[in-house]
Amino acid sequence: MRLPIRLLFLCLSLLSLPALAAPVTGLYQVREPVADQQPESRDAAMQKALQTLVLRLTGDAKALQGAGLEGLRKDPQQIVSQYGYEGDALLVEFDPGSTDRQLRQAGLALWGANRPAILTWWLNESPEGSQLVGESQSASALLRDAAQHRGLPLRLPLADLSEQAVGTTDVLLANDPQALREASERYAADALLAVQATESSGSWQATWRLWLGDEREQGKAEAADQAALADAVMLAVAERLAPRFLVKPGAAQSLTLVIEGADLGRFAALERLLEPFAARLQEIDGQRLVYQVSASPEQLRAQLALGQLQEVSEPLDAAEPVENPETGVTEAPQVKPRTDQLRFRW
């Protein structure tokens, strides 16, 4: 594969990117509240920032407590690029390379920056009335902050008059999400999150459901205020999603990946999806792309599902019929499909 051809694909594809998994911006930047700027408060906030980061990258609340990260717990600043104060918060920039290296050396599986774009239908219900949170409403800031804190790409509906009729408890918590899917088509998201948040006796409770493809996750959360509730829901969602996309050390194998039906508009998005797997483009043949990747088949299938790619059966290699020496009958050979090659198409 000659480099100029690859660059041509990349440059042209940037003109018309489809909606696929969204790269999380600021994945290694963490903001944590701090009481003051004294060293003790700073160190406590730094520890909390490290916990938040490790949870973002692993989806495991206990990951930081492993023996392999003892040195990092004692001195988080060894992977910090810079930090500073913004208002009542400590803003910490972690170095991506150093962070990933230490976590992988500790044997942890990591979730890359390309994650499912989540369209969130969030209904707030209080004694003052009900409100579907739209992207331009003030309440949306709490949801965006919570999603950013937990490393999730968030999208919100417009919440216009037509969508207010969809954003009801009956629709959001229905077992069949068809009505919600139809209302969500205009946003081209990867996953749907439906939340009913209710205020009662000065606290907030939420019931949520998450659809990724045909699979559903669900849960409940409770918090003292709306900001804490949003964070609790986004944390729960991140913990449910992460295991599907973790790249596990030692689980990867060398695979040949064949993509059929590719075009210029899909090339850059495909490159982003394959980034966690050290993908190397080997061949371009019309609308057929051949990559060499380092991944497990399960990891690859989960990641490519974000791009709405469908797996297709591997065609068997042609082989000559053989004669059975015992019966003298010519039989078709038993050819097994390759286990080191996966094929997908749009």
CATH number of the domain at 114-244, please?
3.30.160.100
Q: Which pLDDT score, from 0 to 100, does residue 2 have?
A: 42
205 and 220 in contact (C-beta within 8 Å)? yes
For helices 226-245 and 297-305, what crossing angle results, to 10°?
130
Alpha-carbon gap, residue 235 to 52, rounded angstroms: 10
166 and 145 in contact (C-beta within 8 Å)? no
315: DSSP letter: P
State the residue for tokens 């394959």: 274
The encoded tokens of residue 129 equal 């009335």
Of the candidates 292, 338, 295, the residue with the CA atom closest to the CA atom of residue 315:
338
251 and 167 in contact (C-beta within 8 Å)? no
CATH topology (fold) of 253-345: Alpha-Beta Plaits (3.30.70)
Q: Which pLDDT score, from 0 to 100, does residue 20 have?
A: 52
What is this structure's pTM? Answer: 0.80
Amino acid at residue number 183: A
SS3 at position 260: strand
Of the candidates 103, 94, 100, 76, the residue with the CA atom closest to the CA atom of residue 28:
94
pLDDT in tens, 279-310: 999 999 988 999 999 888 888 888 898 888 99
Amino acid at residue number 69: L
Q: Domain ranges in the chain?
A: 28-105, 114-244, 253-345
pLDDT in tens, 12-64: 443 333 445 678 999 999 999 999 999 999 999 999 999 999 999 999 999 99
State the residue for tokens 């219900």: 125
